[in-house]
């Protein structure tokens, strides 16, 4: 195995030697929710990691990527990070976060899933199991109690219903920018009474009502997402605007008595055709994501942003070489991101083995050299004070091979 001079991940053995006792001592007060904020962003559809974070210094980069290769100078040049890796030109705000040492980029990273189905891949990514459908709830839900979060108003999904990632024993909330005027309280109380003996609807409505109050100011500038002023639908625009969702999440997370954990998601990454390089469909989607992330940062304000970590991952990467239609097909390893004011950023962490065909999985995919669970575990441990024992036994069972990566979060 040829190791690159890039900052390498700690050897797993060295981290494992730390032991659980140390973590327990350090996180003795983990029983109540602190005021740290954690957001998890799922990019559904398999983001092309080589487009998002191009390893332009690799000698095989230009030839392997062909028409998808990004330029290092001129119009639409990529943003250099460390002389070897860069960021896609659309990632203007992420580049600023990197320069402010608030962004870490991970490469050749993937969940334990090794086949190429989106839906199984997302199931593994969200459930935290080693195989699809092995676990019925989400790893983030299993981490809530160890964080001291036992009820729904502290954990929030920015979707109509919580995704698998946040589903499980602890009931969690969900919120979207309002699209219809809310009915009056009196009527809602009547409905609540009607749901008294229906646990699913009762709890769901109670949660929605609790969030409604909290979200009033988040809704102020979130735009209506579905109906235009003349009632005509917006369908052709594609995957919908991300900014109202991220901005709303930022505002809700900013409240001192509001949620501490949020999940967000964005789709539109399944670029089988005409992916484009500096310009094109993927570039536009990455820009929308970049702008949305910045709107979340702004909505939080500096004080809350400094207590925030956002981890962003996708179910797997895409093929290294372009396919026959200017796109990429389903692959294995890819990129992940960790950012926020609480992040000890300014680095790319990758066990890089090159892009020549011999180094690729099945001669086509980026290999998976780092387990995404290692990243998730470190964030939960260092940022949200989840004890090591809970991480190993409950949150990520069978994850001993994916020891947490140290030093991702500011003390």
Judged by the rule CB under 8 A, the positions of this chain that interact with another protein are 44-45, 116-120, 132, 152, 157, 159-162, 167, 173-176, 179-183, 187-188, 190-191, 193-198, 200-201, 204-205, 207-209, 211-212, 226-227, 231-233, 235-236, 238-239, 267-268, 270, 272-273, 323-325, 327, 329-330, 362
Smallest gap, in angstroms, from Cβ of residue 95 to another protein?
28
Q: Please give the C-alpha separations between residue 91 and each of 282, 288, 380, in angstroms, as whole numbers.
A: 12, 9, 26
Place of tokens 């409240």: 255
* Shortest CB 172 distance to another protein, Å: 9
Which residue number, 16 or 194, has a Cβ lying nearer to another protein? 194
Least spacing, CB of residue 405 vs another protein, in Å: 30
* Least Å from the CB of residue 355 to another protein: 19
348 to 49, 86, 317: CA distances (angstroms): 13, 9, 17
Least Å distance, CB 196 to another protein, is: 8
Residue 292: count other Cβ atoms within 10 Å of its Cβ. 23
> What's phi and psi for 176, nearest 5 deg?
-140, 155
Distance (Å, whole) CA 327 – CA 131: 28
The answer to whether 395 and 30 are in contact (CB under 8 A) is no
Q: Please, what is the minimum distance in Å from the beta carbon of residue 57 to another protein?
A: 27
CB closer to another protein out of 229 and 256: 229
Q: Which is nearer to another protein, 29 or 119 (CB)?
A: 119
Minimum CB distance to another protein, residue 133 (Å): 9
CB of 204 to another protein, least distance (A): 5
Which residue, 187 or 303, has its beta carbon nearer to another protein? 187
- How far is residue 130's CA from residue 137's CA, in Å, rounded to a whole number? 13
- In DSSP notation, 4-46 reads PSSPPPPPHHHHHTT-HHHHHHHTTTTTS--S-EEEEEEEET-
Return d(Cα 167, Cα 143) in angstroms, integer. 11
The residue (of 183 and 301) whose beta carbon lies closer to another protein is: 183
The residue (of 100 and 274) whose beta carbon lies closer to another protein is 274
Q: What end-to-end distance do the CA atoms of the chain give, in Å?
A: 33
Secondary structure (DSSP) of 318-366: BBSS--TTBS--B-S-EEEEEESTTB--SEEEE----SSGGGSBTTTB-
Residue closer to another protein by CB (options 72, 131) is 131
Place of tokens 């870490």: 104
The rounded radius of gyration (Å) of the Cα atoms in the chain is 21
* Cα(245)–Cα(241) distance, integer angstroms: 8
């Amino acid at each position: 195995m040829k190791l690159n001079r890039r900052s390498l991940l700690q050897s797993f053995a060295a981290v494992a030697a730390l032991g659980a006792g140390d973590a327990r001592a350090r996180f003795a007060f983990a029983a109540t929710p602190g005021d740290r904020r954690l957001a998890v962003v799922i990019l559904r559809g398999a983001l092309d990691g080589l487009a998002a974070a191009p390893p332009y210094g690799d000698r095989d980069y230009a030839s392997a990527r062909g028409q998808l290769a990004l330029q290092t100078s001129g119009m639409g040049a990529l943003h250099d990070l460390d002389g070897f890796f860069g960021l896609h030109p659309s990632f203007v705000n992420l580049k600023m976060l990197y320069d402010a040492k608030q962004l870490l980029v991970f490469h050749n990273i993937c969940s334990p899933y090794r086949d190429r189905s989106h839906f199984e891949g997302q199931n593994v990514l969200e459930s935290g199991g080693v195989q699809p459908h092995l676990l019925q709830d989400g790893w983030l839900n299993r981490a809530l109690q160890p964080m001291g979060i036992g009820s729904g108003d502290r954990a929030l999904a920015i979707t109509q219903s919580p995704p698998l990632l946040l589903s499980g024993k602890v009931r969690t909330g969900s919120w979207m920018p309002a699209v219809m005027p809310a009915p009056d309280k009196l009527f809602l109380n009547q409905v609540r009474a009607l749901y008294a003996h229906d646990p699913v609807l009762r709890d769901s409505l109670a949660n929605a009502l609790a969030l409604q109050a909290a979200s009033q100011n988040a809704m102020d500038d979130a735009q209506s997402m579905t109906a235009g002023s003349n009632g005509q639908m917006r369908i052709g625009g594609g995957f919908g605007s991300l900014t109202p969702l991220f901005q709303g999440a930022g505002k809700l997370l900013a409240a001192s008595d509001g949620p501490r954990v949020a999940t967000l998601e964005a789709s539109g990454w399944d670029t089988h055709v005409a992916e484009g390089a500096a310009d094109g469909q993927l570039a536009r989607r990455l820009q929308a994501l970049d702008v949305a992330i910045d709107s979340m940062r702004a909505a939080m304000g500096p004080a809350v942003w400094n207590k925030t970590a956002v981890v962003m991952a996708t179910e797997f990467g895409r093929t290294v070489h372009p396919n026959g239609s200017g796109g990429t097909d389903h692959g294995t390893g890819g990129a992940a991101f960790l950012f926020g004011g609480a992040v000890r950023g300014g680095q790319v962490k990758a066990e890089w083995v090159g892009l020549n065909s011999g180094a690729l999985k099945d001669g086509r995919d980026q290999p998976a050299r780092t387990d995404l669970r290692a990243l998730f575990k470190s964030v939960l441990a260092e940022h949200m004070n989840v004890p090591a024992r809970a991480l190993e036994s409950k949150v990520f069972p069978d994850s001993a091979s994916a020891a947490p990566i140290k030093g991702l979060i500011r003390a």
